[in-house]
Amino acid sequence: MTRRGKQKRPPPAVRVATPAPPREPPLDEAEAILADIDGPHMLAEVRRIANRNCWQRHRSTTDLSIQPSEEDVTSMDAPHIGIFWFVRDDDRHVHLLSIACPMAAADAYGDRLTSPAERYQTWEGWRRGRPKLPLAELASLIVRDEYETWPRGRIVYDRPAGTFVIYADRQLLHPPHLDQIRTRFHLPPEQTVALTDLHYRSVHSVGRP
């Protein structure tokens, strides 16, 4: 019982903290490469897109939204852009892992189109089974190694030139590797060029085919 004339105090209001906005994200490999190519005047535009993508990931319920795997791409005849790795399993067999992006879903960076897929999120997604790793026998490799330890690359589309540009680790710039990449992403050879970049340095080597 409460004393007559004395009222209970209402419970204190619960304050809900507003999530702080994410810090300015570092440029990923694709953004850094494109900023290097186009010069300082492109850096502001690249940074604006990076901030937008960071906010979208911050507000999303999951940060592992990944484009279709190579199993989904093989039935599509149209050229795609995206990211890829070459890895070598314990039996020394070399595999091409890729995340392809249709042109309609690409992000624009100045005059170039690039895939929104990011390497860290893709690798972590494979580790967690979201999406399912295309080759189950590589699961232990994905868990054991970090994404930057294997030779990798990215395909972008240069709109003014009308060409697909393969940026890749130098060890991948050999005809057999490039043929696999062009086949996987359905790239027309006469509209595709291949370049290396300092951002793509790996720890492991897959050797020449």
Residue range(s) defining the domain that contains residue 129: 67-196
Q: Is there a domain that residue 61 lies in?
A: no
Give me the pLDDT at residue 77, please. Answer: 84
Residue type for position 156: V
Q: Is there a domain that residue 6 lies in?
A: no
Q: Is there a domain that residue 179 lies in?
A: yes
| Own/partner long-range contacts of 34-41 (Cβ < 8 Å, ≥24 apart) | 34/109, 34/110, 34/112, 34/114, 34/156, 36/197, 38/110, 38/111
Q: What mean pLDDT comes out for the span 73-78?
A: 61
Does the pLDDT value for residue 157 go beyond 90? yes
Q: Is there a domain that residue 8 lies in?
A: no
Most confident option among 70-74, 86-90, 120-124, 163-167: 163-167
Q: How many domains does the chain have?
A: 1
Q: Is there a domain that residue 125 lies in?
A: yes
Q: Is there a domain that residue 180 lies in?
A: yes
pTM of the full structure: 0.67
Q: What mean pLDDT comes out for the span 48-55?
A: 48
Q: Is there a domain that residue 7 lies in?
A: no
Q: Is there a domain that residue 38 lies in?
A: no
